[in-house]
Amino acid sequence: MQKLSRETLMSLEQYAEARPAFRAQVIAHKVARRVALSPNATLYFEDFLTMQYQVQEMLRVERIFEVEGIMEEIEAYNPLIPDGQNWKATFMLEYADVAERKVALAELVGVENQVYVRIGDGEKTYAIADEDLDRATEEKTSSVHFMRFELTTEQAKAVHAGAAITFGADHAALTCELTLDAAQHAALATDLTAA
């Protein structure tokens, strides 16, 4: 799978010109990569394009143009790009009301370890969460978690053969399950090597 490099990024000047069209392309691309498990819990599946956009935006906002700074951003975001045998996602617990969010995050301690995927009628495969740093405490979970769903070769082959993809969570405060629609299935299948 393709990873970010200096050659895959635009200069600040190039990005300023290309940004409106590129941003529209990425927004459209992200639609099928968003999986809402509940009104407040969403998986946003990352790939090369979403991370390229994220890095371009970081470079733009921070006005980073020196090689060292660019390489730091590439090194920070490349791990979030799938490698052909997994899906990588940002899991967000979103509540508009601050008081509601505080209560919910306290009730959802450990939820990041209870999010799963099931391919076809197979067993649940639980996400590996927050490998970069611990985002939760004993009192509350974070509203943002980074997850990796590591799949077997057989699971990847089943996805390419059209097996249903179902994501869910089995936490006491968040029990849900959602089978992907055709567009979501097609989008996530592109992250997996077909071999």
Over its length of 195 residues, how does the chain's per-residue pLDDT go in tens digits? Answer: 789 999 999 999 999 999 999 999 999 999 999 999 999 999 999 999 999 999 999 999 999 889 899 999 999 899 999 999 999 999 999 999 999 999 999 999 999 999 999 999 999 999 999 876 666 667 888 899 999 999 999 999 999 999 999 999 999 999 999 999 999 999 999 999 876
H helices of the chain, in order, are 12-31, 48-62, 67-77, 98-107, 153-160, 182-189
Q: Do 58 and 19 belong together in one domain?
A: yes
Do 7 and 24 belong together in one domain? yes
Q: In which domain, by residue range, is 129 found? A: 34-46+82-195
User: Same domain for 103 and 63?
Assistant: no
Query: Residue 117 maps to which CATH number?
Result: 2.60.40
Going from the C-alpha of 185 to that of each of 15, 163, 194, the distances in angstroms are 31, 9, 14
Number of structural domains the chain divides into: 2
Shared domain check, 68 and 42: no
pLDDT for the residue 138: 74
